[in-house]
Amino acid sequence: MSFVEIATVDELKDGQMKMSVINEQEIMLARVGDKYYSTDNRCPHMGGNLSQGRLEGTVVTCPRHHSQFDLSDGHVIRWTDWNGLKLTFGKLLRSPRPLKMHEVKIEGEKILVQVE
């Protein structure tokens, strides 16, 4: 694994997200206050584009089925916005999985993300 420059500190404002492709892998970078978080850009539920979702604090909501994850550690907050039998069936097809997080470090003005 190595660190790759994904952005500069002035590219994202607080509450913004962006997607970059590194080594043919979609990586999402988010800024919350003065902290940066990085994860795979595709939602583990059904592949929604997380960078096009909603960011509230460290919680990102997928635009496809409204799955929610905490960017501080990737854990699942809500697997989908489905309920009842649809939710039960959906969990059988795809059990809840956390986001794959990437370590972020700042060097000067550069934001670096660790990728495989």
The reported pTM is: 0.89
pLDDT on residue 93: 67
pLDDT, the chain, mean: 92
* Contacts by 35-39, CB closer than 8 A, 24 or more apart: 36/12, 36/104, 36/106, 36/111, 37/71, 37/72, 37/101, 37/104, 38/6, 38/101, 38/102, 38/103, 38/104, 38/113, 39/69, 39/71, 39/74, 39/99, 39/100, 39/101, 39/102
Class of domain 2-115: mainly beta
Q: What is the mean pLDDT of residues 97-107?
A: 96
pLDDT on residue 81: 76
DSSP state of 23: T
Report how far residue 17's alpha carbon sits from residue 38's, in angstroms, rounded to the nearest whole number: 9
Q: What is the mean pLDDT of residues 48-77?
A: 96
